[in-house]
Amino acid sequence: MGLSWPGRRGRLRRSFHGAQAETEAEFLEIVTGPCAGVDIGEDTRYVAAGPDWCSDPVQADSTRSGAVGKDGPPDAIQVWRTLMRSDKGELINCRHSRPSFKIGALRGNMLLCIDAGNTNSVFAIWDGTSFLGTWRASTEHQRTADQYFVWLSTLMEAQGLTDVEVDEVVISSTVPRVVFNLRVLCNSYFNCRPLVVGKPECRLPVPSRVEAGVTPGPDRLANAAATFDRHGGDAIVVDFGTATNFDVVAHDGAYVGGVIAPGVNLSLEALHAGAAALPHVDITRPARVIGTNTVACIQSGVYWGYSGLIEGIVARVKAEYGQDMKVIGTGGLAPLFAQGDIRFDSIDDDLTIYGLVVIHRFSKDRA
């Protein structure tokens, strides 16, 4: 992951955020901060530690490939010039509070985030600054720990993440029956005890404020934590999933309640199952409100019907809350409904999974 180039004349390309560097100045801007590492090839590596660079103590031969740093830690400019002399190299985005060096596995402190929803489960690897990869699978409580591992390791290998070593795991599940096998996965293959959102050992940045004895869904707690971290408080999260959830986040980041409506696809399936003459259709934004065939009529009813539902609920929540609120959309259908009349302040595709990162970080710091 990160910056890579085929040779001396190649362009440096960063695999996320679209950053590119072809000059020394651009390189220095990209690597500023404590979260960059350099793999020059020939078993020679460097890792940024704050403003300083330290050479890899296990490099096979510090004099090969024109490597610098054999007389002391190189600075970023020396690293850049060495890379430009090298035939092969890679700038790896990673973060190490205490760097652990290993040939073929420069990354460390990897967090596996698992969000098991009613329909799909999302797995994502967080390296301390960004997600290295995100994968989805249908949620099935019969799936064993071995099946999870084979599926996940195969996808990670296909994405070139064979050197990633998972250190910790955080789980959110709205399907209690899948948690056991996910715990077995963590114990058997990652040698760790997972943090499960909603369990007593999991601490929230701000406790929810709902009726006594009520435990909000872990996905809603994750949405609240992520929203406050990225967008601040006084917000409504519209989460398009199996159900369409409206999560209200207070000024201090607490989850204070919300609304649950049937999900878009669930409504389509119910309509198809309950009316023999009506076909199953895919949801899309119709060009016209008035449909001229059965499919167009269903699409219009679902799309504009749900648009009206969302606008109406958001307006009523704001009125009851008593002040203006940001509206954040997440879930697979959020971009589609943003094309209509709904005014989202932001579309955040990975809001729930990022919320697990926030909760894990807080809970770990308070352990």
- Does any domain span residue 174? yes
What per-residue confidence (pLDDT) applies to 164? 85
- Does residue 289 sit in the same domain as residue 354? yes
**Residue 8: Cβ within 10 Å count:** 12
- Does any domain span residue 101? no
- Distances in whole angstroms, Cα of residue 132 to Cα of each of 53, 117, 352: 23, 21, 16
The CATH number of residue 278's host domain is 3.30.420.40
> How many Å from the N-terminal Cα to the C-terminal Cα in the chain?
31
Active-site residue set = 219
- Does any domain span residue 104? no
- Does residue 273 sit in the same domain as residue 361? yes
pTM (2 decimals)? Answer: 0.69
Q: Can you give the pLDDT of all 367 residues of the chain as single tens digits?
A: 333 323 323 333 322 233 344 555 555 555 554 334 444 444 444 433 333 333 333 332 333 333 333 344 445 555 545 545 444 444 443 333 222 222 223 345 799 999 999 999 999 999 988 999 999 999 999 999 999 999 999 999 999 888 888 999 999 999 999 999 999 999 999 999 999 999 988 999 999 999 988 889 999 999 999 999 999 999 999 999 999 999 999 999 999 999 999 999 899 889 888 888 888 888 899 989 999 999 999 999 999 999 999 999 999 999 999 999 999 999 989 999 998 788 899 999 999 999 999 999 999 888 6
- Does residue 360 sit in the same domain as residue 244? yes
- Does residue 263 sit in the same domain as residue 150? no
What per-residue confidence (pLDDT) applies to 352? 96
Question: Token pair of 121, please?
Answer: 């489960």
Alpha helices in 134-241 (DSSP H): 145-158, 179-189, 218-231
- Does any domain span residue 135? yes
Domain extent, residue 156, equals 110-196
314-336 in b/e form (b: 16+ CB < 10 A) is beebbeeeeeebbbbbbbebbeb
- Does any domain span residue 353? yes
Rounded Cα gap, residues 149 and 186, in angstroms: 9
- Does residue 139 sit in the same domain as residue 177? yes
Phi, psi of 25 (to 5 degrees): -65, -45
